[in-house]
Amino acid sequence: MSAKVLTDLVSGRRNRGKCRRFGFLPGGFLGVVNPIIGIAAVVCCLNGPAHADVEASAQPTTVYDQKHYIDVYSNYAVVRSEIWVLNQTQQRQPLALPLRLPEPSYWPRLRRDGGSWQIPQMYLDTMTVNPGITHIEIYYGSLLRDRKGIKQFLLHVLQGYRPRGEVWFRLLDTLTSAAFSVNVARAYTNGKIIYIPLEAQPARTDSIVLQWSVKAGLSTAPHRVSWERHFAQLRSWQPDRRSASSFQPLQPVTIQNHDFYVVGLALVLMVAVIVAWWLLRRRRQTA
């Protein structure tokens, strides 16, 4: 926020319509009635994430910003989501967002505004939030889907005033981005990290699907995974947009289903056996 905007808010020079850009601030006469309240409101506004001014919304609560960090292993993923929710009223309001954990989730944890960690319910949209901005942190582990030789990870993203936020994938074990495909138009990578800016997508995105083809391998038993240790490693990872400035666009990859080739080979062999049997029978008949 520029110094001119701060000065105008305190002095009351901004009209009522323009001041509504800040959503939860009073009208343009704020600074005229009481400069102290005006300064307090500006400070409250600056406490949120550093993004553009909030726009008007018909919903009392909405997503202000979101950041998702995912460590992807061969058979499972560890997720850390940070969500800033804006309550534009002066009373506690239901979250009223489709914020749900996948089933099953492993070692799920949640906290609000830096409080104590709690074990969340699967349906988080029953939560209530205070006026202003509430910071919600969520951790959970998830086994990767295996769809006939294609591994998939599904992440639901939330919609606010506009698609806003970041999604970061860190590829571990022997995984590299050369084998990965994602269902968005704009994604960037350095080979081991995939970065997706939600606001840069040309179309609305309700979910991110990361997938890649794999050969048959060993599965992972959830109880053998040290989820708590993985969460500690993920929490220490703090990438930002500046670190992605040297990334290259993620090239589209044709995902190959290895099971398809197995079935195709079996069909070819079966046809070959039938043709050989038919030729042998015909030769015997003509002999």
pLDDT in tens, 178-202: 888 899 889 999 999 999 998 888 7
Beta strands in 31-105 (DSSP E): 61-72, 76-87, 93-94
Task: For the domain covering 61-249, report its CATH number.
Answer: 2.60.40
pLDDT at 42 over 50: no
Tell me which of 280 and 231 has the higher pLDDT: 231
Share of the chain above pLDDT 90, in %: 29
pLDDT in tens, 226-257: 999 999 999 999 998 888 999 999 986 655 54
pLDDT at 52 over 60: no
Specify the range with the lowest mean pLDDT, choosing from 80-89, 175-184, 204-213, 270-279.
270-279
pLDDT at 160: 64
- Secondary structure letter of residue 53 according to DSSP: P
Distance, in Å, from the CA atom of 155 to the CA atom of 275, rounded to the nearest integer, reads 48
Distance, in Å, from the CA atom of 7 to the CA atom of 279, rounded to the nearest integer, reads 93
**Phi/psi of residue 68, nearest 5 degrees:** -125, 130
Tell me which of 285 and 173 has the higher pLDDT: 173
Domain ranges of the chain: 3-46, 61-249, 262-287
Amino acid letter, residue 233: Q
34 is written with which tokens?
């009481």
Amino acid letter, residue 230: H
**Residue written as token pair 């099953």:** 104
Average pLDDT over residues 91-116: 86
3-state secondary structure (DSSP) of residue 69: strand
